[in-house]
Every structure is written in C-alpha cells, then in structure tokens.
Amino acid sequence: MTSAAQDKRQETIELAPSYRLPIALLLLAIPVLVVGRWVGLAIALFGVFLLIQAITLRLRFTTTDLDIYRGATLIRRFPYADWQTWHIFWPAVPTLFFFREVNSIHFLPVLFDPTALRACLTDRCSSDHPSS
C-alpha cells in the first residue's frame, strides 16, 4: 500500500448528504396521490422522514469504525472488525446499503454520497467484502 493510500485510510471522512432518495419519494407521491390518497400520503410522509434524516444524520468513516452522528452527538459506532459483509443495492440508482456484523444485520437508506460511500467501504473494509 502506498503512503498516500495509508494516509487516506487514517483520516476521518464524513460523507456529504444526498437528498436524491427523499426527493424522489416526494415526487413519486404526487401522482400516486391521484390514484390512491392513503398510499400517496404514506409515500410522502416516508419521503419527509428520509429528508429529515438526510439533513440531521452524518456518517463518518474513521480508521477503525463507521460512526453515525446526529449533529455533534455520536449515536452509534460500528467497528469494521465486526463486519462480515456489505452490499449496496441497485448500484445504478443506489437506494439501500446493507452490512452484516457478527451479531446483527443493518439496512440503511442511501442518504449520503453513494460514490464516496463505496470508496470508503472499499478502502476501510477488507477486500473480501463485496461492493455490490
């Protein structure tokens, strides 16, 4: 590994938010409202929920962990040493990120830059983890 690659792995990277998924759901809710009011309303509410999450949550890749922050408060830490596998679903239009730890599985909507997410996972997690 080159020293530039080692330096990159030692810095903490915070992913920029991406509002594509919540906005797409909000836009999808408009025509669905015409067909079915309650289904359209449910999709719109879920879109608003994801928009709030995209505004408030941040993922930080450290040298040893994936940390999830709400503002300045650390709400969850996932050590890479506990990871068994990870996957980004629908790479052309990334919407869902999955990773499995020794004792649990996690699904997260892609509310952050998917390109940076893939790069961080490839850099920080061992090469035996599939990227998609």
Chain-centroid distance, C-alpha 49? 15
Q: What is the distance between the alpha carbons of residues 52 and 46, in angstroms, rounded to a whole number?
A: 10
97 within 8 A of 117, measured Cβ to Cβ: yes
Long-range (24+ apart) CB contacts under 8 A made by 102-109 are: 106/78, 109/21, 109/50, 109/53
Q: What is the SS3 string spanning 36-81?
A: CHHHHHHHHHHHHHHHHHHHHEEEEECCCEEEEEECCEEEEEEEHH
Query: 3-state class of 99 per DSSP?
Result: strand
Mean pLDDT computed over 53-67: 95
Write down the CATH number for the domain with range 3-124.
2.30.29.30
* pLDDT tens digits, one per residue of 25-50: 999 999 999 999 999 999 999 999 99
pTM of the model: 0.80
75 contacts: CB under 8 Å, gap ≥ 6: 68, 69
* pLDDT tens digits, one per residue of 84-105: 999 999 878 888 999 999 989 9
